[in-house]
C-alpha cells in the first residue's frame, strides 16, 4: 500500500510539473486566477499572477505568451485593446520601470521574433518605457535605435507594429536629444538643424554623441518616409507623414 502511494505521488508530481511548464497549462492556471471570484482584491489577484508568472523559466514564459495570444481577448486582430492586457502581463512579469538596462535591450530583440504576437511586442515597448530611460550606455543607446529602426522598417511586420516601433523610436530620440542638450547646450543648434558641420569644434564625448544622434535622426526620417510609402492603412500612413513633418531640420535662417 505504501509503495502504491509512493508511485502515485511520483506520478502526480510529474503531472503537476508538466502542467506548470506547458504553455497550455500555464495559461489555464493564469486564466483560473483571473476568473477566481473568491479573490477579494485586485492587489491579491496581481500578487497571485506575479507568483505564477515569475515561477516560469524564460522559455516557459514565452510558451505561455504564445498560448495567451490565442485567447481572443489578447489577439490584436480580434480585440483592439489586446495590447493593454498584454501590457498588464509584461508589467507583472518585468515590473514597472525597474527593468535593468541589459534586459531592456535584450527584450527589444523580441520585435524580430515572428513567433511572438504583435500585441506582446507592443506590450514590451510600453512596459520597458525606453523613452524615459536616461541611464543607457552609448552602446545600449545604439542598439535600441538599431532594433527599433529595423522593426519599423521591416515590411514583413504589420502596419500597426511598424508604426508603434517608429513612434517609440521618435520618443527615444527626443529624450536623447534633451539629455545631450542639457549636458552641452552649445550642440542644440546643430541638433535642431541636423547638421554635423554646425557642431562645436571640439572632440569631447557630448559632441561625439550629438554627431551620432544627428545620424540617427536622419536615418529615422528616412525610415518614416519609407514606411509611410509602404503601409496600406491610410490612417497609419497619415500618422507617419505627420510624424515626419515634425522631424524636419530647422531652417538655417537668412544670412546675416
C-alpha cell at 56: 516560469
pLDDT at 96: 58
Burial class (CB in 10 A: 0-12, 13-18, 19+), 175: middle
Question: What does the pLDDT average to over 182-204?
Answer: 94
Tens-digit pLDDT profile for residues 34-75: 899 999 899 999 899 999 998 998 899 999 999 998 888 888
CB within 8 Å of 201: residues ≥ 6 apart: none
Tens-digit pLDDT profile for residues 205-215: 999 999 999 99
Residue 256 pLDDT greater than 50, yes or no: no
- Look at 9 and 252; give whichever has higher pLDDT: 252
Question: What does the pLDDT average to over 195-200?
Answer: 95
Distances (CA, A) of 240 to 70, 77, 151, 216: 30, 21, 15, 17
Question: What does the pLDDT average to over 172-191?
Answer: 95
Residue 137 pLDDT greater than 60, yes or no: yes
- Look at 100 and 215; give whichever has higher pLDDT: 215
CB within 8 Å of 13: residues ≥ 6 apart: none
Question: What does the pLDDT average to over 232-249?
Answer: 95
Rounded Cα–Cα distance for residues 73 and 75 (Å): 6
Rounded Cα–Cα distance for residues 121 and 92 (Å): 15
Confidence tier at 13 by pLDDT (50, 70, 90): very low
pLDDT at 192: 96
pTM above threshold 0.85: no
Rounded Cα–Cα distance for residues 176 and 105 (Å): 16
pLDDT at 230: 96
Residue 179 pLDDT greater than 80, yes or no: yes
Question: What does the pLDDT average to over 80-94?
Answer: 84
pLDDT at 99: 57
Tens-digit pLDDT profile for residues 213-240: 999 999 999 999 999 999 999 999 999 9
Confidence tier at 130 by pLDDT (50, 70, 90): confident
Amino acid at each position: 500500500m505504501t509503495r502504491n502511494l509512493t508511485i502515485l505521488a511520483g506520478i502526480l508530481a510529474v503531472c503537476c510539473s508538466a502542467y506548470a511548464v506547458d504553455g497550455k497549462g500555464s495559461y489555464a492556471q493564469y486564466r483560473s486566477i483571473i476568473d477566481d471570484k473568491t479573490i477579494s482584491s485586485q492587489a491579491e489577484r496581481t500578487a497571485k499572477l506575479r507568483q505564477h508568472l515569475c515561477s516560469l523559466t524564460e522559455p516557459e514564459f514565452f510558451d505561455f505568451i504564445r498560448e495567451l495570444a490565442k485567447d481572443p481577448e489578447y489577439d490584436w486582430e480580434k480585440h483592439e485593446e489586446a495590447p493593454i492586457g498584454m501590457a498588464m502581463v509584461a508589467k507583472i512579469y518585468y515590473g514597472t520601470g525597474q527593468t535593468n538596462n541589459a534586459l531592456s535591450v535584450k527584450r527589444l530583440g523580441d520585435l524580430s521574433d515572428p513567433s511572438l504576437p504583435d500585441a506582446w511586442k507592443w506590450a514590451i515597448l510600453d512596459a520597458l518605457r525606453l523613452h524615459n530611460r536616461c541611464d543607457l550606455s552609448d552602446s545600449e543607446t545604439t542598439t535600441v535605435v538599431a532594433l527599433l529602426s529595423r522593426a519599423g522598417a521591416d515590411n514583413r511586420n504589420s502596419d500597426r507594429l511598424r508604426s508603434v516601433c517608429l513612434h517609440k523610436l521618435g520618443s527615444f530620440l527626443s529624450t536623447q536629444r534633451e539629455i545631450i542638450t542639457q549636458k552641452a547646450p552649445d550642440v542644440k543648434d546643430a541638433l535642431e538643424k541636423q547638421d554635423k558641420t554646425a557642431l562645436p569644434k571640439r572632440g569631447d564625448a557630448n559632441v561625439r554623441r550629438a554627431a551620432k544622434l544627428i545620424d540617427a535622426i536622419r536615418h529615422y526620417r528616412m525610415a518614416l518616409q519609407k514606411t509611410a510609402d509602404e503601409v496600406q492603412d491610410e490612417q497609419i500612413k497619415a500618422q507617419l507623414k505627420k510624424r515626419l513633418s515634425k522631424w524636419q531640420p530647422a531652417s538655417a535662417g537668412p544670412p546675416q
